[in-house]
Amino acid sequence: MIKNDLFLKALKGETVERPPVWMMRQAGRYLPDFMKLKEKYDFFTRCQTPELATEITVMPIDQIGTDAAILFSDILVIPQAMNIDVEMRAGVGPWLPDPIRTVKDLDRVVVPDVSDALSYVMEAIDMTKKVLDDRVPLIGFAGSPWTILCYCVQGQGSKNFDKAKEFCFTQPEAAHDLLQRITDTTIAYLKEKVKHGVNAVQVFDSWGGMLSPVDYQEFSFQYIQQIIDALKPLTEVIVFGKGCWFALQEMSRSGASALGVDWTCSARNARYLTGGDITLQGNFDPSRLLSPPATIKKMVKEMIDEFGKDKYVVNLGHGILPNIPVENAQAFVDAVKEYA
DSSP 206: T
Domains defined along the chain, listed by start: 6-12+19-251 (3.20.20.210)
* pLDDT > 90: percent of the chain: 99
Predicted local distance difference test score (pLDDT) of residue 90: 87
Per-residue confidence band for 3, with pLDDT thresholds at 50, 70 and 90: very high
Inform me whether the pLDDT recorded for 35 exceeds 90.
yes
Beta strand 93-95 with 87-89 is antiparallel
Kindly report, residue by residue over 37-73, the tens digit of the pLDDT: 999 999 999 999 999 999 999 999 999 999 999 999 9
**pLDDT of amino acid 167:** 98
Let me know: does 8 contact 2? Beta carbons within 8 Å: yes
Binding-site sequence positions: 25-29, 44, 74, 151, 206, 318
pLDDT of residue 340: 78
Q: State the DSSP H helix or E strand holding residue 142, giving kind and residue range, or none if neither.
A: strand 138-143
Annotated binding site for substrate: 25-29, 44, 74, 151, 206, 318
Average pLDDT, the chain: 97
pLDDT at 333 over 90: yes
* Phi, psi at 140, each rounded to 5°: -100, 160
Largest CA distance in the chain: 59
DSSP string across 263-327: TTS-HHHHHHHTTT-SEEEEEE-GGGGGS-HHHHHHHHHHHHHHH-SSSEEEEESSPPPTT--HH
Neighbours of 173 (CB within 10 A): 8
Does an H or E element contain 130, and which?
helix 119-132
Dist. CA 264–CA 245, nearest whole Å: 8
pLDDT of residue 6: 98
- Under DSSP, the state recorded for 2 is -
